[in-house]
Amino acid sequence: MEKFEPIVIAFCCHYCAYTAADLAGTMRLQYPFNVRIIRLPCTGKVDIRHLLEVFEKGADGAYVAGCLEGDCHFLTGNLRAKKRVALAKKILEDAGIGGERLEMYNMSAAMGPRFAEVAREMTERIRRLGPSPIKKNAKRIEHSAERKEEQTAEGRAQSA
C-alpha cells in the first residue's frame, strides 16, 4: 500500500508561528511538506467555522499555532483561540472525525526549530491516525462543493 501522506493545515499567527516558520526556512531546517500554512493576523482571528471547514475540504489534520501564553501581540488572542480549539475538538469528536486531529500550539517568533518540531509531531500524529474518515467519500465532497457554487451563483443572479 502506498504510504499515506496527510494534509495538515497550520493556522499561524503573523507575529510568532508564521515568523518562526520563516526562521525555520532561513535556518534551512527540514519540516514535512504535508503542512500547509495559513497566516492569520492573530490566532484570536480563528473561528470554529474555519477549523471545521478545513476538515470538510479534505484536510486530515489541523493545528493553530499562536504566541506563548502571556505574549500575545493583541494581549489575549491566543487564549481565545485556545478555548475555540478546545470546543472545535469536542465537535470533531462528536462528529466522528476525532478531536485529536486538531491541536493548539504556542511558540515565539524566535522558535524556528520548535516550529519544525511541531510540524513533524503533528504530521506523525495524523499519519498514525490515518486518513480523515470523510476522504472515503471524496468524490461526493467535490459534488457538494460544486452544488454550493451553483447555489451561490443562483443567489447572486437572484439578488441582481
DSSP 26-62: HTT----TTEEEEEES-GGG--HHHHHHHHHTT-SEE
Give least dist CB 134 to other proteins, A. Answer: 4
- 147 lies in the binding site for other proteins (CB under 8 A): yes
Give least dist CB 43 to other proteins, A. Answer: 18
- Cα radius of gyration rounded to whole Å, the chain: 17
**Residue 138 grid cell:** 471524496
Q: Cα 143 from chain centroid?
A: 23
Instruction: Show the site string, 71-100: x = touches other proteins by CB under 8 A, - = not.
Output: --------------------xx-xxxx---
Q: Binding residue for other proteins (CB under 8 A) from 47, 69, 124, 146?
A: 47
SS3 content of the chain, % helix, strand, coil (to 5): 55, 15, 30
Q: Which is nearer to other proteins, 32 or 99 (CB)?
A: 99
Which residue ranges make up the site for other proteins (CB under 8 A)?
Answer: 47-49, 52-53, 55-56, 91-92, 94-97, 132-134, 136-137, 140-141, 144, 147, 151
